[in-house]
Chain A
Amino acid sequence: MKSSNFTAATIRTSVLAIGLALGFSNGVHAQAKPPIKIAAIVPLSGAGAFDGQLGLEGMQAMAEIINAKGGILGGRKIELITYDDKGLPEEGVSATKRAIEQDKVDAVVGGWFSAVALVMKEATRDTMLNFMTSAQHPDVTNKGHKYMFRVNATSTMMSDKYSKFICEKIKPKSVAFITVNDDYGRLEVENYTRLLSACGIAVKGNEFYNRNDTDFTTVLTKLRSLQPDAIYVSAINTAQGATIYRQIKQTGFKGTTIASAGNMNPKLIELSGSSLENVYSVSLFAPDLKNPTADQWQAQYQKMFKNQPAFIGSLGAQSVELIAAAMDKAGDAHDYNKVSTVLKGQKWKTLLGEMSFDDKGQALQNLYLIQVRKGKIVKVD
């Protein structure tokens, strides 16, 4: 009697274990023309949630445009499958593996944060077409693989262009920095200290702030007491950036505010109120780029979503645009050797202008000088 109950219990446990292991599988749908599945691995919760949302919306708008034109490869539509990576490497890896193994995607777009990008590339190494969007860590391309591409410009590329402009046009006599205490911020301080001193601007000091800080009055008070001509603000996070720009004005600072390259977006302007008026920056995207794809994308975006189209969305959009175009030209969605060769083999006309890739998969993009005028981002010549 007892042993049969015992056996029953054990069998139940084993079945449970195996059942959990085999898990849930997606049904296979029979379709006339199978869609091209692109995994969109974005932060949808946690600290990077808003940026992830903007990036995803950018991708979705571009996918709509391509599908409205009939898709690629003889009528195959682009289908975006979304995964939340929470901005954490561990989640990024498991999402990537699920996308590749379970959902059998044809390409992966992700890597909005550097730490996540660095593990994701290992999960796609030499097996899957992988576009990294905003991550700026050099190892993403230096230690990348043959199917890996990164669309954002590196901070070194941006500082080379921007420092020239600061030296020649803005011409402050002295500058002080407020930067975030991580690789990105440290690189910024290093680059700009070198480049700006070289043209005779006195660097009066630098203060680091932390990723989780919400109040900067103490730091800004300190910087203001150094009496610099200009304060250079390096902030990737929109909420922090807006707080800093406002609080600069609140400390009574009367000099020039310089916004770091690659971080201007409509939400930042909305949150900063008048404190960003007339402030300059550098970006890969501006609303008045006046090329047909950019205009089309912005129109589509505004039809579909409440948010304003922003730089980070444009990176997602460009990734989708390039993947689709390259697959179409190569004639194959799965032969990644062909697709990669095509991607690296020519100049592309995209919504961000004409660009190309180097042999490490790093995008060589246009950098536009921009200024905030009457609350709108405007391209400066």
Chain B
Amino acid sequence: MGNIGVLVVLLLILGGLVWLLVRALKGKEVERRVIFAFILVAVAAPLLLTITFEMKPTPIVRALYDRIETLPPDSRVLLSFDFDPPMSPEVQPMANAVTRHVLARGLKPVFMTLWATGQAQFNITLTDVIYREFPDLVDGVDYVNMGYKAGNEGVLNVIRTDFRKMFPTDVNTVPWDSIPVLEGIRSCSDFSLIVSLGGGKPGVKEWVLFVGDPTGVPTAGGVAAVVAPQLYPYYPGQLFGLLGGVKGAAEYESHFRDNYPQFESMDTPAMVMMGPQTVAHLVIMAFIVIGNTLFFVTRKKEGRR
């Protein structure tokens, strides 16, 4: 029933666009409200019918995935949640996806944030991923949340050489020495991987400049789509992998689900969001074609006059 619904909706959209194209060939303009109606259907239908698409990861996304796959179990991975609610629709899904992958591989994530709002975002991952999908994991033994530290780049400058100095306890004030996950960690150089999630300042760029590049620890990022182009120059030299926007998150979710069938029923918010994004983009492209058709038909008619 669901598949029939999807087919019907897609056929309706396609039929409507073809009809508009025919009208354009006759020189008839498309009214603004018709465009809005098509966008409404293009965005709402995939959400309501949960239309998702399988996605093959691009090399820049695949690089992060493969690195996590090849790390030995019990490796310590530093994940920094540097984003706020406005960025959350794009970055939260990738934060959840990467955390899930790290825990599924038996690695030991150490969470922290440079943003005051980051802690609330981490709590979402804690509830939706760690508590729900990995209920047997123990805080302090299998993962730890070091919390928020004010100071932006100043924090990075310190933890580059002395992590404990900036975080003497975790977010629940458990002392450093009582946290098994942190045993042997003295500075950022002792982590196997650093992933910065967010798109603002301080963010991925600051992690690369102050920690990743000086220490040589492999560094990757997950950012909102509008920020990603600014970070491409760092790839693959200082940034070995980058998840850009909903598409990057969806590629990661899709690839993970294909390789970890035990997580078949996991939440895939990015893949769900790619449904309306894909259909809406195709509809916009169709309208651009219709608009150009109308333009050339009109120009030809005026030429004849």
A and B physically associate = no
